[in-house]
Amino acid sequence: MQIGIVGLGLIGGSLGFDLIQSGHHIYGLSRRQKTCNHAIRRGAVSQASTDPKILNRAELVFLCTPIGSLAQSLALIIPHLMTHTVVTDVGSVKAPVVETLQSLWPNFVGGHPMAGTAETGILAAQNTLFKDRPYVLTPNAATNLRAIELVKDVVIQLKAQLYFASPSDHDRAVAWISHLPILVSAGLMSSCIQESDQAVLSLAKSLASTGFRDTSRVGSGNPELGRMVAEHNQVALLKTLDQFETSLKHIRALIEHHEWNALEKLLQENQTARPMFVD
Ligand code: NAP
């Protein structure tokens, strides 16, 4: 198939690697010529350009630019698409994105691969990033059925685990397991660096090991992505933050009032619950 990828960064470049591997011809469109050159040299695309005309033969297009630029990216390419071209996106928030992009292009299906790294850009793109990872499609009642089938077939070729959800259910679920963890982890790092005793701060930096590496990682990654998910998934994220504040206050009260058995019980419940979310 002739497939276009707009935004040759971590996600766009990684999609390119796997789709070329599956035998597709990949047309890359990116903002900077340097990114196009890297993508061609690394083998993430068959050809690439900064000119949207490159997409005029694409049957399917993946929009892989930042959430706040997706509508602008689609508007830029629309004059160059065939009327039957199917467009999908990879944005980490779905309800506002689907509403806007679907109004611009009827053959649109929202999507979100649940895969990534702390790095950004074409040089961070990698093979098999999506293998065995969830990939959510978020069609609604107005979504064209042929478009859903086409995107579904390509997601299966990525060897990803395919899920379907409404855009708003997607946003509420990822607020819990992706967006809240980013903000909680960011709060952890912001708190640590407030330690006013320089000797203690310096010692803490030297002693930080795997526990701190795990808990600080997601809040110290791509700042633009963190800002975008907070901005575009604000309502769902605030609800999860409210619940988190309540839970944290409860834990604090247990500690303050020496309720060690209750604290241990809560931690035991968490130990039982975690495998239901991750292995
Ligand atoms: P990235 O590595 O920074 O890549 C973004 C690409 O978009 C770059 O190649 C850049 O092209 C282009 N770009 C940046 N700003 C732009 C703008 N204002 N207008 C047009 N093009 C622009 O980002 P990413 O991590 O791949 O994220 C891309 C999308 O994937 C986002 O919508 C994000 O929500 C979604 N996503 C990310 C992750 C993750 O963990 N990173 C996971 C799932 C989904 P040039 O280099 O040519 O400037």
Q: Which of 5, 10, 129, 179 to mutate to test the pocket of ligand 1 (most atoms within 8 A of CB)?
A: 10
What's the gap in Å between 119 CA and the centre of ligand 1? 11
Residue 117's pLDDT is 86
Mean pLDDT by 10 residues, the chain (279 residues): 98 98 98 98 98 98 97 98 98 97 98 92 97 97 97 98 98 98 97 97 97 94 91 98 98 98 98 95
Q: Give me the pLDDT at residue 215, please.
A: 96
CA triplet 219, 222, 223: central angle to 5 degrees?
75
The rounded Å distance from CA 244 to ligand 1 centre is 29
State the pTM of this model: 0.94
Predicted pLDDT at 48: 98
Given the CA of residue 117, which atom of ligand 1 is nearest to it? 40
